[in-house]
Amino acid sequence: MSKIMKIRLAMREEGEFWNAYLAMQDTMKGSKLIGSICIGAVKKNLEVKVAFQAVMQQALADAIKDLTGKLPLEWEIEKAPEAERAGHS
């Protein structure tokens, strides 16, 4: 039986940066910054945006494997809730 983890990779535009956080499923409280890139780079070039997302997904997958011994089986991609789009709370 596989266990569903209640964590997510949250990508947020904050000032001049696009930040990646390890966060709990329903909140940003207690989230941990795991990576950051200048927002201009991802807005100017879709390939850079996609590559940064892939690197952050792999970093999270590796952390999950270190903790559980298993890689995530799949990713669910969703837009952030409206309440989370304005900044890190």
* Residues 27-58: tens digit of each pLDDT: 899 898 999 999 999 999 999 999 999 999 99
SS3 12: strand
At position 86, the amino acid (one-letter code) is A
* Stated length of the chain: 89
The total of structural domains in the chain comes to: 1
Residue 36 within any structural domain of the chain: yes
Query: Among 33, 25, 84, 35, which residue's Cα sits nearest to residue 58?
Result: 35
pLDDT at 18 over 50: yes
Count the neighbouring beta carbons within 10 Å of the beta carbon of residue 43.
12
- Confidence band, pLDDT 50/70/90 cuts, at residue 1: low
CA-to-CA distance for 26 and 30, rounded, in angstroms? 11
pTM of the predicted model as reported, rounded to 2 decimal places: 0.77
Instruction: Return mean pLDDT, the chain.
Output: 84
The residue segments making up the domain with residue 12 are 7-71
Residue tagged 């997510």 (tokens) = 8
Residue 88 within any structural domain of the chain: no
